[in-house]
């Protein structure tokens, strides 16, 4: 714990507040006595801190259970609904929005379809409409939205600006973080979609127990996100994991071949039913996917490879089996390969995590 000089009263008060809030958030509900014991602070200090936190709306007093005799000890709880965050994916063909409380529990989802060829301002407007529909539908006041984070394909720098988009018209140069923050006059954040999906998978998906993770987000264009030691590795310019842009890897051509006359789900369905041509097509796709994944694996040597992306990750063994087989051939030491369990919600959920990280650090002072 930070050592404080006795005279440094305001800093001391801030630290006491953080310690108490952290303890209460972990405990869920606690009495004043219990909080004093956990934090090591005096009863008087805890009382003062709780008053302040109550005024700010971060905590509330929990009414005593009915039927309790005598004078029950006062109990306090963290108000997870004191604020909310919005996480969204803005992709080529759709928007997915998640509204979550301060515990990260998603209280509302909203989706909309978009066209590949929409102009940037139309795409932004559609994203904004979907976000507002989600927040208004849940009855959350706009001033209670403390941060909005957006995930999108392409290279997004540390400030949340899209520095390169090869798929979305007019997207290169867009300050997506600034745009997203403007909707509620709060902090906006933005990151690459595959990076956020990797973050979500570590938080709530298949990769909870892994530390170094390679996540491949499959789709018309595949991207990858990398976690090192459980933390997102974005790289110097935000381009970490952009192996899909390497022509030699052949991801884009392989994806085009896969869906040339049917949706990916249809091809996987046909293949799983034994259709010969569909099986061959999936086999070719799996091989290309494995070559790119191998380049990532032979660079990072991760604990786990996760394949995600709505419609693709749900293919199951019909895709996973050939991918695993090719990985075993290509990699001197192939890690376990699993499918994402988050369906098409990974990117939005990762955006929620990114927004929560900001709120916990900058607003609540919890990290």
Among 18, 245, 272, 341, binds its own copies (CB under 8 A): 245
Segment interacting with its own copies (CB under 8 A) among 78-86, 124-132, 221-229, 312-320: 221-229
User: Which residues, numbered 69-108, are part of the site for its own copies (CB under 8 A)?
Assistant: none
Q: How far, CA to CA in Å, does 329 sit from each of 39, 216, 253, 334?
A: 54, 19, 22, 9
Q: Does residue 59 touch its own copies according to CB under 8 A?
A: no
CB of 83 to its own copies, least distance (A): 32
Residue closer to its own copies, measured from CB, 42 or 299: 299
- Looking at the DSSP bridge assignments, the partners of residue 149 are 87, 189
Q: Does residue 296 touch its own copies according to CB under 8 A?
A: yes
CB of 221 to its own copies, least distance (A): 13
User: Which residues, numbered 249-278, are part of the site for its own copies (CB under 8 A)?
Assistant: 249
Residue closer to its own copies, measured from CB, 126 or 304: 304
Q: Does residue 301 touch its own copies according to CB under 8 A?
A: yes
Could you tell me if 153 and 192 are in contact, meaning their C-beta atoms sit under 8 angstroms apart?
yes
Among 103, 263, 299, 367, binds its own copies (CB under 8 A): 299
Selection from 356, 15, 4 nearest residue 200 by Cα: 356
Q: Does residue 332 touch its own copies according to CB under 8 A?
A: yes
CB of 216 to its own copies, least distance (A): 11
Segment interacting with its own copies (CB under 8 A) among 65-73, 81-89, 105-113, 238-246: 238-246
Residue closer to its own copies, measured from CB, 86 or 198: 198
How many chain residues interact with its own copies (CB under 8 A)? 38
CB of 27 to its own copies, least distance (A): 25
Segment interacting with its own copies (CB under 8 A) among 52-60, 94-102, 235-243, 357-365: 235-243
Q: Does residue 15 touch its own copies according to CB under 8 A?
A: no
CA 340 distance to own-chain centroid: 13
Q: Does residue 238 touch its own copies according to CB under 8 A?
A: yes
Q: Does residue 9 touch its own copies according to CB under 8 A?
A: no
CB of 332 to its own copies, least distance (A): 5
Spell out the residues 6+ positions from residue 342 whose beta carbon is closer than 8 angstroms to its own: 197, 200, 201, 204, 205, 308, 349
Distance, CA of 127 to CA of 188 (rounded, Å): 14
CB of 235 to its own copies, least distance (A): 2
Segment interacting with its own copies (CB under 8 A) among 88-96, 104-112, 287-295, 312-320: 287-295
Torsion of CA 14, 19, 21, 27, to 10 degrees: -170
The number of C-alpha atoms within 13 Å of 186 and in the hemisphere containing its C-beta is 22
Residue closer to its own copies, measured from CB, 114 or 300: 300
Q: Does residue 194 touch its own copies according to CB under 8 A?
A: no
């Amino acid at each position: 714990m930070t050592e404080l000089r006795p005279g440094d009263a305001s800093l001391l008060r801030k630290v006491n507040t953080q310690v108490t809030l952290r303890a209460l958030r972990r405990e869920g509900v606690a009495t004043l006595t219990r909080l004093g014991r956990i934090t090591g602070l005096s009863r008087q200090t805890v009382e003062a801190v709780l008053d302040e936190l109550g005024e700010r709306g971060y905590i509330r007093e929990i009414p005593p259970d009915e039927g309790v005799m005598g004078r029950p000890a006062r109990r306090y709880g963290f108000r997870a609904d004191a604020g909310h965050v919005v996480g969204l994916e803005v992709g080529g063909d759709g928007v997915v929005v998640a509204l979550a409380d301060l515990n990260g529990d998603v209280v509302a989802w909203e989706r909309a379809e978009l066209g590949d060829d929409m102009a940037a301002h139309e795409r932004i407007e559609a994203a904004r409409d979907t976000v507002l529909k989600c927040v208004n539908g849940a009855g959350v006041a706009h001033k209670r939205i403390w941060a909005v984070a957006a995930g999108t394909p392409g290279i997004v720098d540390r400030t949340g600006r899209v520095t390169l988009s090869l798929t979305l018209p007019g997207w290169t140069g867009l300050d997506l973080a600034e745009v997203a923050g403007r909707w509620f006059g709060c902090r906006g954040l933005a990151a690459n979609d595959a990076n956020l999906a990797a973050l979500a998978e570590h938080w709530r998906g298949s990769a909870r127990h892994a530390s170094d993770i390679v996540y491949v987000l499959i789709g018309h264009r595949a991207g990858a996100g990398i976690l090192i030691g459980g933390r997102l590795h974005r790289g110097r310019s935000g381009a970490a994991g952009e192996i899909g842009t390497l022509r030699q890897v052949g991801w884009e051509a392989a994806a085009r071949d896969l869906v040339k006359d049917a949706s990916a789900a249809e091809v996987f369905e046909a293949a799983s039913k034994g259709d010969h041509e569909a099986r061959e097509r999936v086999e070719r796709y799996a091989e290309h996917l494995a070559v790119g994944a191998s380049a990532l694996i032979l660079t990072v040597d991760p604990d786990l490879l996760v394949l995600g992306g709505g419609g693709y990750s749900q293919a199951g063994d019909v895709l996973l089996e050939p991918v695993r087989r090719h990985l075993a051939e290509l990699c001197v030491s192939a890690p376990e390969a699993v499918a994402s369990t988050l369906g098409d919600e990974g990117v939005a959920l990762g955006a929620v995590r990114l927004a929560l990280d900001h709120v916990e650090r900058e607003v609540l002072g919890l990290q």
